[in-house]
Chain A
Amino acid sequence: MSTGPSEPTVQPPSEGPVVKGGGAAYRLDRWQRAGGLVAPVLTAILAFLAGGLVVLATGHNPIEVYKGIWNGTGLEWFYQVGSHGVGLPWSEASVWFPWDPGSRAAENLQQTLILTASLVLTGLAVAFAFRCGLFNIGGQGQYFAGAYVAIWIGSSFAGMDSLVHIVFAIVAAGLAGAAFAGIAGILKATVGAHEVITTIMLNFVALYAGLYLFGQGGPLQNKDQVFSPTSNEVLDEARLPVFWGDPFLQGLHVGLFLALGALVAFWVIINRTTLGYEVRAVGFNPEAARYGGISVARNYFLAMAIAGSFAGLAGAIDMLGWRFSIGFSDIQSSTIGFVGIAVALLGRNTAVGVGLSALVFGALVNGTAARNIPVEAFDIPEQAGNLSLTIQALVLLFIGADILILYLWAKTGQRIGVGRRSPA
């Protein structure tokens, strides 16, 4: 009878330790684990090689361009070792520090890390849902939901205590993201509406809601800026403190710690709580979860809501940390929620992976910003911006291929290694 194609039937028979002997399924598993480490690195390298070929094809020097990108990421800061001083917070004291906290590279690194913090959160929004077997395409919409709420609270309630105001805005933004994603969760849990479809649709809802709210004549539009529609400014008390760099020149805000905390929270929830156990069980095998007495519908809802709260937090730290207002055109051009999908996929939906891949993407997005690409390499500066988008797209493409390769790897592994359905 049907044992399913995935059953590891060609095993050394019951005597002796199968695992040590290296059963086919076990080795396949090992391969995949190795692939989980090697594949993303290869992916990134291949993507940059391909991007170099594109640059070469346009008649420019890829090495120059990549040098510009690398310098733009600010990651060179780490090897610019010297003897410097760094001020301790809330004091006049200063201690010796091997890196220069005020260099040009430091400023670039701050920008990279600002992006990294948001990408960690939008990446977690995809990863958490993924662990429950859901593909959350709606990170962008959930990010907007959080951003709108953060802007509204941050620009209202003047006179509130600074810390209370910030916490209030952040918590409310997280809840807004959760509620927004929860809609897709409820639809999935109750009527089985596919989350890919519903979250895409909800992205449009969030997009146009924002264009209405902050657009020309919208209820939340800044009345002083009639011709370039935008929101009100976040009040000074509601802004996130900057702990590195110049607060007036977009220094690095404390949202980074919120993102790092979210990574830890993700790992703990997934691996150490009964909620995480349920989410993973449903994600791996909903039938088995149901058989085990786990409510699949409840977990679909919870996983989406928690995922959405991560994206909502991303909206909050962007608004309260460095943007301070959201304009009509900002809404139209925002893609941070979508990049989160790539972050989660490259990071294999694990906490550590998402953290690292958010850094890669943060560096990539920041490094390929047109201002960092040497103008002398291009006749028209706009071309640099297009090239940066091309490289980003190539990385995404290669990640897609990488997943496909792993999938085929597993498939063929089953065919040749584990054998066909074995009777008797």
Chain B
Amino acid sequence: MSERPVVLELRGITKQFPGVLANDRVSLDLRRGEVHALLGENGAGKSTLMSILYGLYHPDEGEILINGEPVRISSPKEAIERGIGMVHQHFMLIPVMTVAENIVLAEEPTKAGVVLDFATARRRVEDIAAQFNFAIDPQARIENITVGQQQRVEILKALYRRADILILDEPTAVLTPQEAQELFAILKNLTREGMSIIFITHKLNEVLEIADRITVLRRGKRIDTLPAAGATEASLASLMVGRDVLLRVDKTPAKPGDALLQVEDLHVLDDRELEAVRGVTFEVKAGEIVGIAGVDGNGQSELIEALTGLRPIASGEFRVDERRLTGASTHRILDSGIGHIPEDRQRRGLVLEFSLAENIALHDFDRPPNSRLGWLRPRYLVERAKRLLRAFDVRGGGPQTPARALSGGNQQKVVVAREVENDPRVLIAAQPTRGLDVGAIEFVHRRLVEERDEGRAVLLVSLELDEILSLSDRILVMYEGDVVGEYGPDVTEDELGIAMLGGTRETEAVA
């Protein structure tokens, strides 16, 4: 492997943002035909480094060499011209256009210089797809194909522009395990054809599976570059975080008590008035964590919104601690013992402009002792916030700091602190670790298990199978608005993956 030529080299890249040294003399080399994983926590500087490579930022120091030749890349257009392709986490595709049209966009083959030559476009796309062994229909419209296929279109787009260096930004975040496997097969094909790939991720198992070499960044510095062979998840995690991390969640078997959340034949409509939740029935008992697995968009969000009064219920009902709450306002539901960690802490969980003290009071500012007869008691709010921030080890600010100034992990700690503060019977956690780094994930997971052990009923909804598997005492799979399977904690990832794609409707006996 070491005799392969180096196609890309970053030497001593330094990038300073106001108050943050995003990249501190980072060096990296990419060899022909390798998958090079770039691993690091939030804010480690991975994205900055890749943005520099893709011409979005200019480095303060350091140089970039392509095939041994120093280059200056000052825009994505120049990056593309130099053979660098980037697949962003959020696809840049036009839904109403076909696969072929999207791929040739901005570099359309024309007849006589003006008229679009669709036949040539389609043929060229077919050629490239065949060369790299892609299964894709160039005539299909983007809006009708799966997320995994859309990602392949993005990769094809880069190949069409003659990229030989491909940057993939968290490519598996949107995929099911099966789709991820298909992606890995494609990537192996690409490297065999001589492509070089930089793979940005924070998922340790993927790194070990797909990468040839791994570069770990921490706080803007390159910590190490090492071959994937011989590395372990634990060793990589401690390189990333700088200390030993508990990857597995330590927990005792659940001791379920009474059913605290009961959902019966619940039907909920989505924004387009289509039925998103189709007759879901389940219950969550005191002292257990029930995980809901599923591919994004199969009714999980609507289910949670219905249970928290944010979305009207079409029919069916639900009870908390035997109290019927169907149709109740959010205010009443929260007062009746539901805590809710929302799936998007920035859009919903926090008022970013509010201070932490104000954010912590979001549900109960109108009740004594936070306020009396309509008058807020700011001093009490600050005192309470001070206590909670200490208890939850929130760093980066005090009660008066605006929530916006905190890092994602600390913001989430504030949300969690608020939601468990009022001693809810039922805790609903939607994507509680989305976008968090390893250390913060560890904290949230430990906390959820603690809340379970306190006797709360915990409903966990997550798109991360790892998270579902390591935390849940029972697992429900949602597919197209329905619960299509119930599993015990020892189910395998593959079984869940198949169910998530609607593969089975059988219900296994719960252990």
Contact = CB atoms under 8 A, between A and B. Distances in A.
Given A12-B20, A12-B43, A293 B371 contact: no
B237 to A, nearest CB: 13
A18 B404 CA distance: 12
B331 A293 contact: yes
Contact of A289 (B20, B351, B434): B351
A13 interface: yes
Nearest to B38: A424
Interface stretch (B115-123, B154-162, B169-177, B244-252): B169-177
A5 B463 CA distance: 21
A273 interface: yes
Contacts of A28: 18
A18 B402 contact: no
A19 B51 CA distance: 25
Interface string B152-188: 0000000000000000011001100000000000000
A272 B348 CA distance: 23
Name which of A12, A422, A424 has the most chain B CB atoms within 10 A of its CB.
Answer: A424
Contact of B18 (A27, A273, A291): A27
Interface residues of B, number: 80
Contacts of B409: 14
Name which of A1, A21, A271, A416 has the most chain B CB atoms within 10 A of its CB.
Answer: A1
A172 B125 CA distance: 73
Given A274-B371, A420-B47, A424-B170, A8 B402 contact: no
B405 interface: yes
B452 to A, nearest CB: 23
A14 B439 contact: yes
A284 B354 contact: yes
A8 B22 CA distance: 13
What's the dominant secondary structure at chain B's contact region? Answer: loop
Interface in B374-414: 374-376, 378, 395-397, 401-402, 404-410
B202 A424 contact: yes
A418 B406 CA distance: 12
A10 to B, nearest CB: 5
A405 to B, nearest CB: 18
A423 B395 contact: no
B51 A9 contact: no
Contacts of A29: 402, 404-405
A291 B350 CA distance: 9
B375 A424 contact: no
A75 to B, nearest CB: 35
B60 interface: no
Contacts of B48: 10, 419, 422
Given A273-B375, A417-B18, A424-B46, A7 B408 contact: yes
Contacts of A6: 346, 352, 404
A18 B405 contact: yes
Contacts of A285: 347-348, 350-353
A19 B394 CA distance: 12
A378 B125 CA distance: 74
A11 B310 contact: no
B346 A4 contact: yes
Interface in B326-347: 329-331, 333-335, 340, 342, 344, 346-347
B435 interface: yes
B31 interface: no
A287 B405 CA distance: 20
Interface in B262-320: 308-310
A422 B42 contact: yes
B475 interface: no
25 contacts: A6-B346, A6-B404, A9-B407, A10-B43, A12-B43, A13-B41, A14-B409, A18-B406, A23-B19, A23-B407, A29-B405, A272-B376, A274-B366, A280-B351, A284-B353, A285-B351, A287-B348, A291-B330, A291-B348, A291-B362, A292-B330, A420-B51, A423-B42, A424-B40, A424-B201
Interface of B: 17-20, 22, 39-48, 51, 56-57, 89-90, 169-170, 173-174, 200-202, 218-219, 308-310, 329-331, 333-335, 340, 342, 344, 346-354, 358, 361-363, 365-366, 371, 374-376, 378, 395-397, 401-402, 404-410, 431, 434-435, 437, 439-440, 463
Closest 3 CB pairs of A and B: A18-B396, A424-B202, A293-B331
